[in-house]
Amino acid sequence: MYILTLALKSILNRRSTVLLTIVSLALSVMLLLGVERLRADMRESFANTLSGTDLVVGARSGSVQLLLYSVFRIGNPTNNVSWESYQDIRSHKLVAWTVPLSLGDSHRGFRVLGTTPDYFRHYRYGGGEALQIGRGRVFDDLYDAVIGADVARELGYEVGQQIVLAHGAGDVSFVQHDDKPFRVVGILERTGTPVDRTVHVSLSAIEAIHLGWDSGAPVPGRQAGAARIAGQDLEPKSITAVLVGLKSRIAAFRVQRFINEYREEPLLAVLPGVALQELWDTLGIARQALLAISALVVLVGISGMTTTILTGLNERRREMAVLRSVGARPWHIFVLIVGESGVVMLIASVLGVGALYAVQWIAHPLIQSAFGLSLPVHALSAHEWKLLAAALTAGLLVGLVPAYRAYRYSLADGMTIRI
């Protein structure tokens, strides 16, 4: 204990140099833990977004792309699914329920999802949690809208608020459906999924706001105002994707084969869990590379600490000699230098963990706002503790190099002035 106290006093005596080393190491530890936490939290957030759905169906593309745009609202579809094909899927004898999804519009940067009331009955997230209406009700009129918790919070919306949808899924749109305003009739409870950042309307409403449009643009003279919609055919011509629940999960591969071999148009049915695993396999190389780079950054920081101690040893020869002269043995000097390395690494690790929580606290709402992913602030996981312990151990082991050099210094060598 006395040696460690002496090591701490020695560090304080050289605080300017040591402070820079500690800052460098703290940033390295923060990066190492941050990469691991981002990977684990993103995987958990993605996995909790959809539960209880057996198949996701869309136009033929890639399974990961289909999952991203239909469930996570990331990206855009390459094509749509015709309404006739959707009816065939829904009428399959092994299908228990279906939820059609129609994307393509937005409201002030938030995605608009056209669907049916079945969405609120069958959509599950997390461990099977159902969507809950916090205020208001589910839409039942043509121009009703149900918004997610983040939409209400960020835009300050309440039940009864009038909103105008925009054409296109970008943050900025120059084409507004201002002739057909919607009214907010319900606000969903927070889920921590992309549902929180979605405006939900009926499929008929999506058709209504696009009456008189052709190839994604309004045709002059053919647009019908809200008052002239009555009596119009509002059955969708196509949809973006379909969530499918089966009567038995054993039939998942059978129904998947039926859809993938559908002759009327090229369709793709994916198992959400399999597609999610494919996504993580795709990102696996990048994740490992980031983790390796973070570990190398920590090693570089530790090497810098070792270099600083080695450089200072020549200036501390007289200090070591004084310690030897008052009775310190060579192993005391060895433990002193190793103790300094350990104290520096411990302080840097504590600061690194603190910096990680500070950055996560700041970045959490930004990431959720941009991607709809929830990355909650929580205690260190077992794996993160292992990484932290590995960094501390590496700091102690590398500290053996300057400790061994100091151990070799003799009393006479310390008292000798070299020119």
* Domain extent listing, the chain: 2-46+284-415, 55-270
pLDDT at 203: 94
pLDDT at 222 over 60: no
Residue 196's nearest CA partner among 165, 154, 138 is 154
pLDDT at 20: 81
Write out pLDDT tens, residues 314-336. 666 666 666 666 666 666 677 77
Write out pLDDT tens, residues 235-251. 889 999 999 999 998 99
pTM, whole model, 2 decimals? Answer: 0.74
pLDDT at 133 over 90: yes
Residue 304: partners with Cβ closer than 8 Å, 6 or more residues away: 21, 24, 25
pLDDT band at residue 374 under the 50/70/90 scheme: low
Q: Between 382-398 and 330-371, two packed helices, what is the crossing angle to 10 degrees?
A: 140
Write out pLDDT tens, residues 243-287. 999 999 899 999 999 999 999 999 999 999 888 888 888 777 777
Separation of alpha carbons 62 and 257, rounded Å = 16
pLDDT at 78: 83
For residue 52, give the DSSP letter: S
Token pair 């002239």 is found at 228
pLDDT band at residue 77 under the 50/70/90 scheme: confident
